[in-house]
A and B are shown apart, each in its own frame.
Chain A
């Protein structure tokens, strides 16, 4: 039960940083690049969130590679094939290369198109205007940060809804944190205005072409982007009946 105490007094954050430095081996790297290069998670080591002490549990040697969403195989099932065929036809019509779609994933009854950012706006326009697609409503634009050592860690995620056909799809654009630029879809979906401002505010993704990309939730002069994984949650320790309860980001994580 070495994990029950915190003998060296180090917070959970420091330990987790060590674990996340455990990147993929070259073999895994090559494999995941062959699969399209989308990483959605971080690699794990050991269990019970115990680091920096002797491995008394025997689980310390466990290695779990980062989650890589599996590319879907045809047929995708349901209306997914129909939408994908329509989309490919619409892309042909508009002269969009097939490589614009990096990968298609079908998971838990939802379809995700991993898209290259150069073609995002044209793709959205096709999705909105093509009579066979008609994704009139952009439900949500948000971002996900998968962790410090994950390559292309920032993902910009678009949830589109077709009210005509009652379908939902997801577009996802993965970018590097050093080059966090994604074209803005505001000209196609005006509703993306505030969503993109929020994603910029919280994750620092720069939406090129946005009419007024400013912070929306945080004060204008705020430093940093709060929902990035390397931005601390903060908080203060609370003393209760003589014992100290550390702030949430320093408590033990089993994740």
Chain B
């Protein structure tokens, strides 16, 4: 509009001469501007009649002048990773919001088609990097459905335990980064401190802080190290001590509540249409948790609650995440009680990864006894090991879709096999990808600051969105 006004002004200057020639009584600008002051000559001299402009159109113009389209991201500390938001603003108000993704696309799905089924684990664990164990578990569950095998009980219990510890660390990051994006930096430092506890524990249990590749088709890479129970009980104790601090620091804090309450509203029908699952769907009142409604890995045996709310706003999602951490701790404690000695990998030597690992002077690797056996005593074992590691196992042709409850919602793996040693297709229904579609519905009509709160409450992980 401003440029429009500019052409109007310059256009009139050119026909000034003509106006002056035909009507000497009026101001030269009058022809084009209805609000220009008119004048006439009287005995008292020249009298000007000054009229006001129409305030409505005047305000209209200024509002349009404030219309700005901004690109937020992909490199921006408040957009939760390499997410680019294109916002159309009228002043502080967002009239249109769109998200642009793809900045972290690494072609993991296609890469999996060029690896064996076991190698696929090391790729999928890098998708949603805040929930690596959930990715591994879902991929392995789908592979196991294709193979029609069931993993030993100890492996199932350990999978549940690892996934719940992972859920705690993931929710802690959601909380920490969400707090950071809203300017609550103490929330960030505390959240990351607690997440560090979870990652230290996972490092002790699996050998790696992230990208574990610990859950394998057929079971687990190896059994738990000595003394793991004490470590986990310590972790539960520490978390039980520290979690109430979040209630003191954030849950009841007026600024935190004002930033989050009533912001990013998305009711149940909107969630269902947009395919939104996880804490966002539960914050809208639907008690939909795949651990309860479609139990896998034996979740039906555990005693835990699915916290829900009907507020459907960012604050409800924050409260639910904290409540879910408490529930996860309960599940982890129950896992410890359920653990019984036993194998952690299927007995079928045609599928089970052959490595018998131990820690040597140069780090973790095949144990000396095992290497001695395959190299010195059993030619068949050596061939078997070699075939399984280089060629991999064959998976009968067909397809399977397995969905589990990741910290962000329904994480589904659609695996297709044509009977070979490599998948034909690995499709991941990542909850971040789907949930991010609801960003415009949550933030249009609100303020810019509320977009940040809404995106933070969605907790998208760009590694999972872009894959």
Contacts and interface: CB of A to CB of B under 8 A. Distances in A.
Interface of A: 40-42, 44, 48, 64, 66-67, 69, 107-110, 112, 136-140, 142, 144-147, 157, 159, 163, 166, 168, 170, 189-191, 193-195, 198, 202, 215-219, 226-227, 233, 248-249, 251, 253-255
B114 A189 contact: no
B254 to A, nearest CB: 36
B101 A168 contact: no
Nearest to A252: B390
B381 interface: no
A190 to B, nearest CB: 5
A233 B412 contact: no
A162 B461 CA distance: 26
A36 B272 CA distance: 34
Contacts of B390: 254
A64 B420 CA distance: 11
A66 B420 CA distance: 11
Contact of A107 (B274, B398, B436): B398
B429 A140 contact: yes
B43 interface: no
A32 to B, nearest CB: 14
Given A108-B398, A145-B425, A191-B273, A233 B110 contact: yes
Contacts of A189: 273, 275
Contacts of B398: 40, 67, 69, 107-108
A159 B401 contact: yes
A138 B466 contact: no
A109 B145 contact: yes
Nearest to B427: A142
B353 interface: no
Given A190-B273, A218-B102, A255 B401 contact: no
B100 to A, nearest CB: 9
B151 to A, nearest CB: 16
B216 interface: no
Which 5 A/B pairs are nearest by Cβ-Cβ distance?
A191-B275, A255-B420, A41-B418, A140-B429, A67-B397
Given A108-B145, A227-B109, A140 B422 contact: no
A67 B414 contact: no
Given A137-B275, A140-B427, A217-B466, A40 B397 contact: yes
B369 interface: no
B441 to A, nearest CB: 9
A218 B105 contact: yes
A202 B250 CA distance: 43
B414 A191 contact: no
Interface string B272-303: 11111100000000101000011000000000
**Which of A145, A217, A248 counts the most chain B CB atoms within 10 A?**
A217
A66 B419 CA distance: 9
Contacts of B36: none
A191 B436 CA distance: 10
Contacts of A145: 425
Interface of B: 101-102, 105, 107, 109-111, 113-115, 145-146, 148, 272-277, 286, 288, 293-294, 390-392, 397-401, 403, 410, 412, 414, 416, 418-422, 424-425, 427, 429, 433-434, 436-437, 466-467
Contacts of B414: 140, 142, 157, 159
A196 to B, nearest CB: 12
A107 B399 contact: yes
Contacts of B113: 233
Contacts of B397: 40-41, 67
B466 to A, nearest CB: 6
Contacts of A41: 397, 418-419, 424
Contacts of A66: 418
B401 A191 contact: no
Contacts of B422: 253, 255
Given A140-B414, A217-B101, A248-B115, 14 more contacts: A41-B418, A67-B419, A107-B399, A108-B145, A108-B146, A110-B399, A137-B272, A140-B412, A142-B429, A146-B418, A157-B427, A163-B288, A191-B273, A251-B114
Contacts of B418: 40-42, 66-67, 146-147
Contact of A168 (B105, B401, B424, B466): B401
A248 B112 CA distance: 10
B274 A191 contact: yes
Contacts of B114: 233, 248-249, 251, 253
Given A166-B294, A218-B105, A108 B400 contact: yes
Contact of B401 (A44, A170, A198): A170
A178 to B, nearest CB: 21
B421 A255 contact: yes
A191 B400 contact: no
Contacts of A159: 401, 412, 414, 429
22 contacts: A40-B416, A41-B424, A44-B420, A67-B398, A67-B418, A110-B399, A112-B399, A137-B275, A139-B429, A140-B414, A144-B424, A157-B414, A159-B401, A166-B294, A194-B437, A216-B102, A217-B105, A233-B113, A248-B114, A253-B114, A253-B420, A254-B390
Nearest to A219: B102
Contacts of A217: 101-102, 105, 466-467
Contacts of A108: 145-146, 148, 398, 400
Nearest to B430: A140
A235 B107 CA distance: 12
A139 B146 contact: no
A147 B400 CA distance: 19
Nearest to A249: B114
